[in-house]
Structure formats: C-alpha cells, structure tokens
Structure 1
Amino acid sequence: MPLGEVNWMAALIAALAGFAVGVIWYMALGKQWMAAAGLTEADVKGSSGKPKATPFIIAAIANIVMAAMLFGILVHVGDPTVRRGLMSGLFIWIGFVATTSSVNYAYQQKPFRLTLVDTGHWLVNLMVQGAILGAFG
C-alpha cells in the first residue's frame, strides 16, 4: 500500500491518542517506572526543572509512524473494523513488542517490572490506535 493511501487524518488522530496514552500511563506509573529504570527526577528533567523535550518529540514521531504502519496492516488484513484494529494491536504487541522488549530488557538485566510498565504501555497504545484506525475504516 503506497503511503498516499494512508488515511492521514485517522493516523494523526490515532497518533495523538497513542501519545495521550503514554502521557496518562507514565503520569500514573511514573514513580514506579523511574524506580525500575534506576532514574531520579533530576535524570528525567532538564536544568530548567521541566521534563526534557527530546523524548516527547521522539514519542510523537514514533506514534505517527506506528499509526500509519498499523493502518497499512489493517488494510491488508481486510476491511478495517474496530475489532480488527484491537486484535491487530494485540497480536502485533504479542508478536513483536512484548517479545523483543523482553529479550532486550533481559540482556540488559533490567528489572522485570520495568518490562511490565513499558510493554504494558505499548499494549494499550497499539490497541487504542488500532481501534481508532479501525473505526475510521
């Protein structure tokens, strides 16, 4: 599927929703995430005392790319529906995100709870994006 065939309005809405999932997820689990990652507030904030911008910029770009690619997958599976979007998000998470993240975190000797926090975020993100993209069909 050429990129010109992506429903960019749907992809941008899904990307914004995915970004919002991340904001809510890490606001709720921020202290647990920092503890598991071995980070302090000073580590995640710049000299101004505000969160560093670079991770947010990368997350925004990643969510746009993810939504566009997920849309392409949904189109190849068949007519996009909310159910197909949810299921595709789940299967992509199981097959690619949970597996690769678990391997990487294990080799890096990161705590399992960090794996749970980070991969849990991507599960919700992919399913929300999939549902939105499926709704737009």
Structure 2
Amino acid sequence: MELLNILVAAVAAFAVGSVWYMKLAEPWMEASGVPRGPDGQPEGGMNPKIFALGFVLQLIVAGMMSHVFRMSGITSLGAGLVSGIGVGLFFISPWIALNNMYAMRPFKLTLIDGGYATLACGIMGLVLALF
C-alpha cells in the first residue's frame, strides 16, 4: 500500500506541475532563457524523456517524504500538508534559489520554480497523509 501511496503522491504533484507550467509558460520561458523558434515554442520541442525522468525524480521525492513522514509520525492531513509545504519552501526552494543565483538567472525564475516546488510538496504531503 505504501508504494501505491507514493505513486499517487508523485502523480498528483506531476499533474499540478503540468497545470502550473502551462499557466506560467511564457514568464518561465522568458526567465529561464529557453531558446525559442519562430513559433514561440522551445526550439526542437520537448523530448518525452524529460517528462519521464521528471516523473521518476518526483517519485524519489515522494518516497523520501513518505519515509520522513513515517519516521516523524506525521499522519494527519493538516500535518502532511504543512510538512510538505515546509519541505518545498525550506528545503527545495532555497536550493533552487542558490542554483539560480550562481547561474545569474532572474529571481522571477526562482519564484516560479520555487512556487511549484512548494505547491507540489504540499500536495505530496497531503496525499501521503491521506492513506
């Protein structure tokens, strides 16, 4: 059952990411400096391998969050949500900020990517505490 819970948490976070980045595609492409073709889309399109690897990485995050939650006794929905938001806001987002700072990328990119990390981890935490 635990593996199914981790899978559902990763799927939920991945789905939220698809909506997040569809809504913020234009500002994200501008801030990240993704080269675009004449049609305004990323040059060369998006390789499906990127999405597959992205999902695998989210599975890893969900698996580790599940482990930490079990070790910490996090079982209520509120605690799962708050703990997930905490992971995204205080672990993942600062690391994103650090990478973007050294790469001299705009702070706007950190806000977009860190915002997604916080939201996705909150959703993961909620799902992990649900089952």
Query: TM (normalized to structure 2)?
Result: 0.89
Letter in 2 for 1:97: I
1:44 aligns with 2:42: yes
Select the residue among 40, 52, 62 that pairs with 1:67: 62
Give 1:79 shift.
4.3
Q: How many residues align?
A: 128
Cα deviation digits, residues 21-62 of structure 1 (max 9, x gap): 11111100011100101113447353xxx5211220111101
Select the residue among 23, 26, 31 that pairs with 1:28: 23
Equivalent residue for 1:3?
A: none
Distance 2:61 2:122 in 1: 12
Equivalent residue for 1:110?
A: 105
Q: What is the RMSD of the two structures over their aligned residues, measured on CA atoms?
A: 1.6
Kept in 2, the 8 Å contact 1:89–1:127? The answer is yes
Give 1:99 shift.
1.4
Select the residue among 86, 91, 95 that pairs with 1:91: 86
Query: TM (normalized to structure 1)?
Result: 0.86
Give 1:17 shift.
0.5
Q: Which runs of 5+ in 2 are unaligned?
A: none
Equivalent residue for 1:12?
A: 7
Equivalent residue for 1:134?
A: 129
Distance 2:129 2:42 in 1: 35
Distance 2:75 2:105 in 1: 37
Structure-2 change in CA distance of 1:45 and 1:85 (3 Å): farther
